[in-house]
Amino acid sequence: MHVKESAGTVSMTQVQNAGSPHLEVRNLKTYFYTEDGVVRAVDGLSYGLAKGETLGLVGESGCGKSVSALSVMRLIASPGKIVEGEILLDGLDLLQCSEPEMREVRGNRISMIFQEPMTSLNPVFTIGNQIMEAIRVHQDVSRKEARDRTIAMIRRVKISAAETRVDEYPHQMSGGMRQRVMIAMALACNPEVLIADEPTTALDVTIQAQIMELLAELQSDFQMSILLITHNLGLVAEVSDQVAVMYASKVVEHTSTAELFASPLHPYTHGLLTSVPTLGMPREQKLNVIPGQVPNPLHFPTGCRFHPRCPVAEQRCKQEEPLLREVKPGHWAACHFIENGKSPMKGADR
């Protein structure tokens, strides 16, 4: 893949495996102009999502995961603004689209499901009504046909008695069911890309397993790409092909899932992976701790944004910001001290 790079932009545009990515985000910057100052919620973010693949976007709260997703949909409201960057869907730059053009994309080519199935459905309309709306906005079909397709869609997400449940209201359904309705709505127009923003965080583990299974099945049926935003490393390990780890509004590491979990190279990724207890872990083993806190996006540290919490930081890290670079074939990371594809952390290879 050949990408022209203009001088001055962050050189991280080829983050992708072979073949042109279906959705590509280049050097995206979304800032919020608040009374207290400029919140750089997304600050030079780049990633690529290949057709039919799942990219996991991981990070802690406030790292900019959700804002980056909303930016892709161009759903950033004042005081927020997309300041810079490109968002390419099959070569079409969404940031250059007019609002009517964008409306053709939203819900049709790119859909989104949200964390809170309780609040993202409208309580005064039946679920059938809400799914039908998505179909009728984008496609020229009769009411009857839209309803039939809605019922078929409800069946597709494995809600039983679709013919009667189509006329129910959101409050008559459980959390897991509502998330299924959200999925039905998102997939009603057969989108190419699905953005799933913490789709199971509000759900119990047994329901989470049901929803993830459903998504995997629908992904292969619909041949869609999924951008999975989550803080749950377990979920990422199980469903995604590629992982991008975000810290303080930037991607700090990006590679295939197998590679990331086998040999995390960035100290932050290493810290994250070793600080969660996993099933079957011996209790004598102390949990690793990342000292300190996630930085305030109003005042990011200078140089490498992770340096105040990093166990291997040196003077250089305070002054010079590391660029995301290919440290090993197919493995990108932003750290000064990764040499010959080796992590600066001791015992990082797991």
Partner 1 sequence: MSTEASKNSEVLLRVEHLKNYFPVRQGLLSRVAAYVKAVDDISFEIKAGETLGLVGESGCGKTTVGHSVLRLITPTEGRVLFQGKDLSHLPAAELRAMRQDMQIIFQDPFSSLNPRMTVGAIIGEALAIHGRGDRKERAEMVRDTLQKCGLDPAYVNRFPHEFSGGQRQRIGIARALVLNPKFIVCDEPVSALDVSIQSQIINLLVELKERYNLAYLFIAHDLSVVEYISDRVAVMYLGKIVELADSTELYRNPLHPYTQALLSAVPVPDPTRRKQRTLLPGDVPSPLNPPSGCRFHTRCPLAIDICKKVEPRELDVEGHKVWCHVVEEQITGSRPSS
Q: Which residues bind partner 1 (CB under 8 A)?
A: 60-61, 174, 176-177, 204-210, 212-213, 231-238, 257-258, 261-262, 271-273, 275-281, 283, 286-291, 293-294, 309
- Closer CB to partner 1, 52 or 62, in the complex: 62
3-state secondary structure of 243: strand
By beta-carbon proximity to partner 1, the closer residue of 25 and 290 is 290
Q: In this structure, are strands 250-256 and 23-34 parallel, antiparallel, or unpaired?
A: unpaired
Q: Supply the minimum distance, in Å, between the C-beta of residue 46 and partner 1.
A: 23
Task: Establish whether the linkage from the previous residue to 295 is cis, with ω within 30° of 0.
Answer: no
Instruction: Confirm if 237 and 50 have CB atoms less than 8 A apart.
Output: no
Least separation in angstroms between CB 293 and partner 1:
5
Q: Measured on CA atoms in the order 151, 152, 154, 159, is the torsion positive or negative? A: positive
CB of 175 to partner 1, least distance (A): 8
Min CB(20)–partner 1 separation in Å: 25
What are the tokens at 217?
């099945």
- Report how far residue 298's alpha carbon sits from residue 75's, in angstroms, rounded to the nearest whole number: 21
Choice between 1 and 289, CB closer to partner 1: 289
Give how far Cα 47 sits from Cα of 65, 115, 286, Å: 12, 22, 34
Nearer to partner 1, 94 or 203 (CB): 203
CA angle centred on 58, ends 180 and 34, rounded to 5°: 95
**What's the N-to-C CA distance of the chain in angstroms?**
31
Distance CA 64, CA 66 (A): 6
Give the whole-angstrom CA distance, residue 247 versus residue 292: 14
Residues forming a β-bridge with 37: 34
Under 8 Å between Cβ of 243 and 255: yes
- Angle in degrees, CA 181, 72, 330, rounded to 5: 105
CB of 289 to partner 1, least distance (A): 5
- 82 or 260: CB nearest partner 1: 260
Burial of 133 (0-12, 13-18, 19+ CB in 10 A): middle
* CA R_g for the chain: 21
Cβ nearer to partner 1, comparing 73 with 214 = 214
CB of 147 to partner 1, least distance (A): 26
Smallest distance from the beta carbon of 9 to partner 1, in angstroms?
Answer: 30
Kindly tell me which of 166 and 290 has the beta carbon lying closer to partner 1.
290
- Residue 265 beta carbon to partner 1: minimum distance, rounded to whole angstroms: 16
For partner 1, which is the closer residue by CB, 83 or 207?
Answer: 207
